[in-house]
């Protein structure tokens, strides 16, 4: 009987040793939680280029630059900051068709930390409606204007199932920093560790025409894959709400 017990114990130990260990990459890349501030990628070997404040006059050109390099990016777009989003319908559809991630940056780009829950909800749902009209999908990712997440911002976004993105590298393009100054920040931060999610603005020609090509080259030199924010968080396929909506012909107004 004792011998049988020893044999059973040995077999159990062998089975335990033979069982495959959890894949660490899979553990790292579980889908992010809504309503929690995320500053960088959940895995190494990636760079998630992320642009705010469009769509704008450079959006189509930026998509061409990214597409030529085989890169994917994320666009955090507003409804009215630089004109009505519907006036840039062609660029919006082009970016979506190219496989870039379209995400929300609110309707009017306000300081939402002082907003009521109802006001925040309105800011988000107006962008959802525009996206549904233009591309047939509603986003599940957003970046708050001015990176402000106080007050009712996070509770409301959690209730709406939004993943909240900020950044881990601020290029400073919004603060008159030159592409060279922005580039130095990436060089200093390095390409190791979990991938970067930078704060950039497609409303500056230098960001589109100088910084972006430099980043594409920097990523290539460091063997970094240029991906959407969702992919770098292990959430590829989770960029949008599951429901699809009929694309509308318009005309629309903001």
The pLDDT assigned to 79 comes to 98
What pLDDT, on the 0 to 100 scale, is given for residue 25?
A: 41
CA 60 from chain centre, in angstroms, equals 19
d(CA 49, CA 124): 22
**Whole-angstrom distance, CA of residue 79 vs CA of residue 195:** 29
Q: What is the pLDDT of residue 31?
A: 80
201 is an active site residue: yes
Q: Whole-angstrom Cα distance, residue 54 to residue 113? A: 22
For residues 230 and 141, the answer to whether their CB atoms sit within 8 Å is yes
Burial class (CB in 10 A: 0-12, 13-18, 19+), 252: middle
**Angle separating helix axes 89-97 and 59-68, nearest 10 degrees:** 20
Q: Of residues 67, 168, 170, 201, which has the active-site annotation?
A: 201
Q: How far apart are CA 224 and CA 227, in angstroms?
A: 9
In our burial notation (b when 16+ CB lie closer than 10 A, e otherwise), range 162-178 reads bbbbbbbbbbebbeebe
Residue 150 DSSP code: T
100 has catalytic annotation: no
* Residue tagged active-site, from 52, 53, 167, 235: 52
Instruction: Give average pLDDT by consecutive 10-residue segment, the chain, 254 residues.
Output: 43 41 45 96 98 98 98 98 97 98 98 98 98 98 98 98 98 98 98 98 98 98 98 98 94 94
CB atoms within 10 A of CB 241: 16
Q: Are 88 and 59 spatial neighbours (Cβ–Cβ below 8 Å)?
A: yes
Could you give the count of Cα atoms lying within 13 Å of 29 in the half-sphere of its Cβ? Answer: 21
């Amino acid at each position: 009987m004792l011998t049988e017990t020893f044999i059973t114990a040995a077999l159990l130990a062998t089975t335990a040793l033979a069982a495959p260990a959890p894949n660490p990459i899979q553990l790292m890349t579980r889908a992010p939680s809504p309503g929690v501030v995320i500053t960088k990628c959940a895995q190494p070997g990636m760079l998630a280029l992320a642009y705010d404040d469009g769509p704008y006059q450079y959006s189509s050109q930026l998509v061409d630059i990214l597409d030529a390099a085989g890169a994917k990016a994320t666009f955090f777009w507003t409804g009215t900051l630089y004109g009505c989003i519907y006036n840039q319908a062609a660029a919006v559809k082009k970016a979506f068709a190219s496989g870039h991630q379209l995400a929300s940056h609110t309707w009017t780009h306000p300081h939402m930390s002082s907003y009521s829950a109802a006001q925040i909800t309105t800011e988000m749902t107006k962008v959802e409606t525009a996206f549904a009209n233009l591309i047939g999908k509603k986003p599940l990712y957003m970046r708050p204007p001015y990176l402000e997440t106080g007050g009712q911002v996070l509770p409301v976004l959690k209730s709406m199932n939004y993943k909240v993105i900020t950044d881990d590298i601020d290029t400073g393009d919004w603060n008159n920093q030159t592409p060279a100054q922005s580039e130095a920040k990436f060089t200093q931060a390095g390409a190791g560790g979990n991938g970067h999610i930078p704060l950039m603005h497609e409303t500056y020609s230098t960001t589109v025409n100088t910084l972006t090509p430099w980043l594409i080259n920097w990523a290539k030199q460091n063997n970094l894959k240029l991906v959407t924010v969702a992919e770098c968080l292990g959430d590829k396929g989770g960029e949008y709400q599951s429901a699809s909506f009929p694309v509308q012909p318009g005309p629309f107004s903001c």
